């Protein structure tokens, strides 16, 4: 659903303010390789991830599955374009379930690279405007890559494609398909915590009501993965 020029400027300003806030939060972090945003497998049986930024604040409960699978359950308070562009709710709540498969790794003298494949189904329900409900379903495909450059620092890259199909009252059905490049870091700040920063940016394709368009899509979070709260 295309935005007006004034709304686009407002969204751009909100993203810039979020970027400045996240960078400020990240400057106090030291570093950590237990990975929930990259391609490496979990090192523990369970982990928790909290993140805040643009377009949402989220919590994920991660579990180490069998063989090469890690999985999680997540909840998200959404206050910007859920996919990074176009589908911009006034306020919404989303639930989702990431499934991450470890595909490949290579160890070199000065680094270790892990490649994964992640599938994340999700559903968002909220308000697009006053008395204007919206419902959005999602399947997100991602190729997360982790590059451990030293024992305390991992660089995260790769790509993500959230495919959103939604409905807005009095507007109808529409969809968004952003093509996002990922860049971030995970830092080992202690025995049980790993702060991170992650940015995803790329073109966002929006369509619906017989129209289509392309806009800049961007998502940005800072947060922490922590584990061993109780038990393992």
Average pLDDT over residues 90-96: 96
| 26 pLDDT higher than 60 | no
| 9 pLDDT higher than 70 | no
Average pLDDT over residues 119-124: 98
What is the model's pLDDT at position 12? 59
| 31 pLDDT higher than 80 | no
Query: Cα-atom radius of gyration of the chain, to the nearest Å?
Result: 18
Q: What is the mean pLDDT of the chain?
A: 87
List pLDDT tens digits, range 147-174.
Answer: 998 888 999 999 999 999 999 998 899 9
What is the model's pLDDT at position 48? 96
What per-residue string of b and e applies to 86-100 under the rule 16 or more CB within 10 Å gives b?
bbbbeebebebebeb
List pLDDT tens digits, range 63-76.
Answer: 999 999 999 999 99
What is the model's pLDDT at position 210? 85
CA distances from 149 to 15, 43, 95, 112, 200 (A): 30, 17, 33, 7, 21
What is the model's pLDDT at position 2? 47
Q: What is the pTM of this model?
A: 0.85
Provide the token pair at 222: 């800072």
| 30 pLDDT higher than 70 | no
């Amino acid at each position: 659903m295309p935005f007006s020029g004034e709304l686009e400027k407002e969204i751009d300003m909100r993203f810039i303010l979020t970027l400045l806030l996240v960078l400020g939060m990240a400057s106090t972090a030291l570093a950590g390789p237990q990975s929930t945003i990259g391609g490496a497998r979990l090192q523990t049986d369970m982990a928790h991830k909290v993140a805040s930024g643009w377009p949402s604040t989220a919590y994920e409960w991660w579990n180490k599955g069998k063989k090469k699978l890690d999985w999680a359950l997540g909840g998200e308070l959404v206050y910007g374009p859920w996919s990074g562009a176009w589908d911009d709710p006034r306020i919404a709540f989303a639930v989702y379930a990431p499934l991450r498969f470890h595909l490949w790794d290579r160890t070199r003298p000065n680094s270790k690279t892990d490649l994964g494949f992640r599938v994340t189904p999700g559903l968002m329900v909220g308000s697009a405007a006053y008395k204007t409900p919206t419902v959005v379903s999602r399947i997100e495909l991602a190729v997360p890559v982790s590059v451990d450059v030293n024992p305390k620092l991992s660089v995260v890259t790769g790509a993500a494609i959230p495919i959103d199909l939604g409905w807005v009252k009095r507007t109808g059905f529409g969809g968004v398909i952003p093509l996002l490049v990922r860049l971030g870091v995970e830092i080992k700040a202690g025995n049980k915590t790993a702060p991170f920063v992650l940015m995803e940016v790329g073109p966002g394709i929006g369509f619906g009501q017989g129209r289509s368009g392309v806009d800049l899509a961007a998502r940005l979070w800072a947060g922490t993965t922590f584990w061993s709260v109780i038990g393992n």
